[in-house]
Amino acid sequence: MNKNISDGINFLSKLTAKRVWNAVKVVSSFYSSKLTGKPNTWGLPISISFEPTTSCNLRCPECPSGLRSFTRPTGMLSSGLFKQTIDELSDTLLYLIFYFQGEPYLHPQFLELVGYASQKGIYTATSTNAHYLSDEQAKKTVESGLDRLIISIDGTSQEVYQQYRVGGKLNKVIEGTKHIVKWKKALKSSTPHIIFQFLVVKPNQHQIEEVKLLAKELGVDEVGLKTAQIYDYANGSELIPTIDKYARYARQNDGSYTIKNKLVNHCWKMWHSCVITWDGLVVPCCFDKDAHFRLGDMKTQSFTKLWNDQAYNDFRKTLIKSRSQIEMCKNCTEGTQVWA
């Protein structure tokens, strides 16, 4: 069976009557909000992202973790906080992403948390730089029930790879990938669905076909080619690809750059998903990397209450009225295509 079809069937197997009904309410409330200009919320999120940690072993140039540029503290997610939230949302939650900032495998209980969510029938996914996928950790990963494993591999040679993954070792990524593939076969498991994520930047754009061949050789299920977010893009960057379809930004006649995406006054993410930081802060989406827009705190209130609270609805209302007033939205690519 085609690996993508197998992954799709696995995802659909997580559907229950409560989750389907919740999704119907979420979709309906989103379109109602667009039509009326009022922030209606009739369900709970279909998907959430939980941040295991802000710690990272690499120093990638367009990543706050890599640059060590956070104003918020670095720490590890409490298993109690995580389980409390999952217990509250598990009936309606369909998709759980174990990633925001940092390297998830640095969290000592990471795979235990994955297992807890998997046992509740939630589709689980994470993204890793694969430097900690030892043989033992790979076995535990497969056993945890993790459904999707995104492995960042931004080059097929060490020289190219290290230009973005500063401090990283390509041989560790390949070794970790082999361990996962090996244990999937040994344990006769169809999961996790392994994706090589290739962040297309100017230094590696010539290796796109090579990463596809490498993935096939190693037994990786899928390759995803992702466009790169550049923070200071207006005057250009050595990271912006010259292959136009892989660039989020368009060069203007005067040499400056603008984002291709049109800033429309709505955002699906504000109705169907959110991000929870390692210390329990609830923020709108993955673009709020430093948690400037804090819409609630799981340490002091239930998720259901904060999801429907005034602060959240005020933020949704601003999106509907004038999204350009929100600074982080100006460099957002919601609605643009990720090329694969």
pLDDT tens per residue across span 155-207: 999 999 999 999 999 999 999 999 999 999 999 999 999 999 999 999 999 99
pTM for this entry: 0.93
Instruction: Using the structure block, give the residue that is written with the tokens 């390297």.
Output: 103
The confidence score (pLDDT) of residue 39 equals 92
More confident residue, 304 or 288: 304
Indicate whether 74 pLDDT > 60.
Answer: yes
pLDDT tens-place string over residues 221-238:
999 999 888 888 888 889
The confidence score (pLDDT) of residue 336 equals 37
pLDDT tens-place string over residues 75-118:
999 999 999 999 999 999 999 999 999 999 999 999 999 999 99
Share of the chain above pLDDT 90, in %: 71
Pairing state of beta strands 47-50 and 296-297?
A: unpaired
The confidence score (pLDDT) of residue 290 equals 86
**Plot region of 219 (φ>0 → left; ψ -120 to 50 → alpha; else → beta):** left
Environment class of 13 (CB within 10 Å of its CB; exposed 0-12, middle 13-18, buried 19+): exposed
Give the residue-averaged pLDDT of 6-23.
Answer: 97
The confidence score (pLDDT) of residue 66 equals 63
Mean pLDDT, the chain, as a whole number? 91
Q: Which of 62, 119, 51, 120 shows the shortest CA–CA distance to 89?
A: 120
Indicate whether 331 pLDDT > 70.
Answer: no
The rounded distance, in Å, linking the Cα atoms of 90 and 73 is: 28
pLDDT tens-place string over residues 264-302:
667 888 899 999 999 999 999 888 888 888 999 999 999
Radius of gyration for the chain, computed over Cα atoms and rounded to the nearest angstrom = 20
The rounded distance, in Å, linking the Cα atoms of 91 and 130 is: 31
The rounded distance, in Å, linking the Cα atoms of 146 and 31 is: 32
**Plot region of 114 (φ>0 → left; ψ -120 to 50 → alpha; else → beta):** alpha
**Cis before residue 192, ω within 30 degrees of 0?**
yes
Q: Provide the pLDDT confidence category of residue 338 given band limits of 50, 70 and 90.
A: very low
Contact status, residue 64 vs residue 73, Cβ threshold 8 Å? no
Give the count of beta carbons closer than 10 Å to the beta carbon of residue 158. Answer: 13
The rounded distance, in Å, linking the Cα atoms of 319 and 135 is: 46
